[in-house]
Amino acid sequence: MSPFGDRLAGAMAEHGPVCVGIDPHPGLLSAWGLGDDADGLRTMGLTVVERLAGRVAAFKPQSALFERHGSAGVAALEDVLAAARRAGTLTVLDVKRGDIGSTMDGYAEAYLADDAPLRADAVTLSPYLGFESLRPALDLARRTGRGVFVLALTSNAEAAGVQHARHDGVPVARAVAAAAAAENARAHDAGEWRRMGSVGLVVGATVGSAPQRLGLGLDAVRGPVLAPGVGAQGAGAAELARTFGAARAQVLASSSREVLRAGPDGLVDAAASLARTARTALAPPRTPEGPLP
**Is 287 domain-assigned?**
no
Which element (helix H / strand E) includes 234? none
CA-to-CA dists, residue 241 to 46, 68, 196, 223, angstroms: 32, 36, 20, 18
pLDDT in tens, the chain (293 residues): 799 999 999 999 999 999 999 999 999 999 999 999 999 999 999 999 999 999 999 999 999 999 999 999 999 999 999 999 999 999 999 999 999 999 999 999 999 999 999 999 999 999 999 999 999 999 999 999 999 999 999 988 899 999 999 999 999 999 999 999 999 999 999 999 999 999 999 999 888 899 999 999 999 999 999 999 776 555 667 788 788 989 999 999 998 888 999 999 999 999 999 999 888 888 776 544 444 33
**Is 255 domain-assigned?**
yes
Q: Residue 18: beta bridge partners? A: 253
Active site residues per annotation: 96
Q: What is the CATH number of the domain that holds 79?
A: 3.20.20.70
Tell me the C-alpha distance between 249 and 115, whole Å. 32
**Is 71 domain-assigned?**
yes
- pTM greater than 0.85: yes
Query: In angstroms, how far is CA 165 from the centroid of its own chain?
Result: 24
**Is 226 domain-assigned?**
yes
How many folded domains does the chain comprise? 1
**Is 114 domain-assigned?**
yes
Which element (helix H / strand E) includes 50? helix 38-52
Contact indicator for 292, 284 with CB cutoff of 8 Å:
yes
Domain membership of residue 9 as a residue range: 4-280
Q: Residue 93: beta bridge partners? A: 123
**Is 267 domain-assigned?**
yes
**Is 291 domain-assigned?**
no
**According to the model, what pLDDT value does residue 288 have?**
44
**According to the model, what pLDDT value does residue 3 have?**
97
**Is 173 domain-assigned?**
yes
